[in-house]
Every structure is written in C-alpha cells, then in structure tokens.
Amino acid sequence: MTPIKSPLAPRADAADLVKDIDLKGQTAVVTGGASGLGIETVRALLGAGARVIMPVRDTARGEQVARDLAQATGNSDVHVLHLDLSSLASVRQAAREILALAPQIRMLINNAGVMATPQGQTADGFETQFGTNHLGHFQLTRLLLPALMAAAPARVVSLSSSAHRLSDIHWDDPNFRATPYDPWQAYGQSKTANALFAAELNRRYADQGVTANAVHPGGIMTGLQKHMPEGEAQRRGWIDENGAPHPAFKTPAQGASTSIWAATAPELDGVGGLFLEDLQQSTPLDETNPNPMFGYKLHALDADSARRLWTLSEDLIDQTGK
C-alpha cells in the first residue's frame, strides 16, 4: 500500500495546508494554543474560517494570543478557557465549558505537553509527563466524545514525537514509583502513549465517524525545551554555540503543518490509526540507520498495547474518583 502524502513539501507552513480549504462553520479545539506550535495551529485554523476554542493553562497569555491572532487573521471567533492537564478536576471542568460552547466539535488537536521535566507528580499522583501528556488528554478526549460524534466526520490529532523511540510503556510502573526516574524515558513513554491512544481511539470510534492519528511535528525549538539546560541542547546537537537551531529543525509554522494536515486534509477523510510526520504517513523505523530522521518504532502502533493502555488509563483515572 502506498503511504498517504500531502501534495505539499514537508516544510510547508501550516497556513499553506488550508489555503484552499473552507472551515467556516466548523469548530476546532486546540490544547496549548497559547505558545509554540499551538499558536501556529490556531492561526492556520482561524485563517481558514474555523471557530477555535483554546483551552490553556495561562489564560491571560491565551487571551493576548487570541486577540493577536484574531487581528492577524480577521477571524475573531476564538475562545479561551482554563485547562490544566495535570489536574483531572481541571480537565473535567474544561470539558464542561467546551461542551457548553460547542455541542459539535469537528477537530480536536491535543497539542499541549511538557518535556523532560524534573521528577514530580500531577495533582492526582501520576508521574508529571505521563499524567499531563497522556492521561490529561485521554480524559479530555473521552469527555468530548459526544461532541465529536455529533459532528461526525470528526478528527482527533494526538501530538507524539520521535522521542517515542526512547521508551515503550513501563507497564508495571508507569509512574516511576519504583523505577529510577529518567526524564527522557518518562517523556518517551508519554509520547508512545500519545500514539497508542490515537490508534485505540480510532479502532473504537472510527465506525462512529471519529478518526484519530498520531503526529510527530518534527524538531522545533519552542518553550517545550524550557527544562533543558542550554549545554544539554548543544550536546544533543539541537543548537550551536550561538543558540541557533540545527538546520534540520523546523520553524513553528512548519512544525504545525502536519497537525493541520491531519485535521483537515481531504486525502485523510475516514483515515485513522496512523503515525504521521513530514506531511505524510510514516513508515516503520529503519533500525540499521544510525541516525534516522524518519520513521516510527513498532511499539507506537502495536494494537495489543493500544488496547492495554486504554484499559490501564481508565483504571488509573477511576482509582482517583475523578
């Protein structure tokens, strides 16, 4: 089977993906829309005429971004509300507010996230990255499913990363309670979880009109790196001694393009359960390549793991009573 590709080049800006698409009358929800890739994702959607809801942790910043984007795009149909993905109580309240605003949601882009944080726990006792990046979005999406199904065909986009290659799910200890904590192992686990969640969501709900895909946006220097010392970023080759990003890195507008493609492209109508990157369907990683820039590890889309993670996630959330 030939992989699905966008007709545009991999480094196209997000706005280029929707220049011929009319999203008027459609509602999109973008988590983390007040910074980094989220800003460019919201910009592209507003520019195409969509109504956009921005659940963000910092509402003051979110309101300023919303005003700026409304002025830049000429579309003022953008709404900001509070969401802290590290708190299930906040997730539930945000979902109530979103559903009150939008009984139908055509696109849900789970964009927000944290990376390589110091060891810590969410308000509900989960490891910070697993709890925020995966469980927060898992619960938000489940609560918004009625609006997604009401808008069918609807799409869910789950932001993963090439860092999924760093770790499968730590099935016996996903919260690093006994396992020595490594921030990159924890981040990798959360990004694998994001991909598995999309795969299982698609399996469960595609026949009800809700498809889901995982997206690796590429390397982009944004606020996501705030927990990484500059020296570590240099050692990893992400920036040079002057702080300039590696040439392989994308701009935020380029990094948001695969999310926008996943949410809007006609060639992805009814298509889900994929790992997408560089405006195309990804393929299994070439393990013989010492420095692979493209491809996913098989554990990220393993069907049995996807089912298992869904059940584990439900159990973990149910144990909190939230």
Residues annotated as part of the active site = 187
User: Other CB atoms closer than 10 Å to residue 293's CB: what's the count?
Assistant: 11
Number of residues that make up the chain: 322
Which tokens go with 253? Answer: 């507008």
> What is the distance, to the nearest Å, from the Cα of residue 229 to the centroid of all Cα atoms in its chain?
24
Nearest to 209 by CA among 88, 295, 105: 105
Contacts of 319 (CB under 8 A, 6+ apart): none
* Amino acid type, 245: P
CB-neighbour burial class of residue 288 (10 A; exposed 0-12, middle 13-18, buried 19+): exposed
Q: How is 219-270 classified by DSSP, letter by letter?
A: -B-SGGGGGS-HHHHHHTTSB-TTSPBPTTPBPHHHHTHHHHHHHH-GGGTT
SS (H, E, C) 4-49: CECCCCCCCCHHHHCCCCCCCCCEEEECCCCCHHHHHHHHHHHHCC
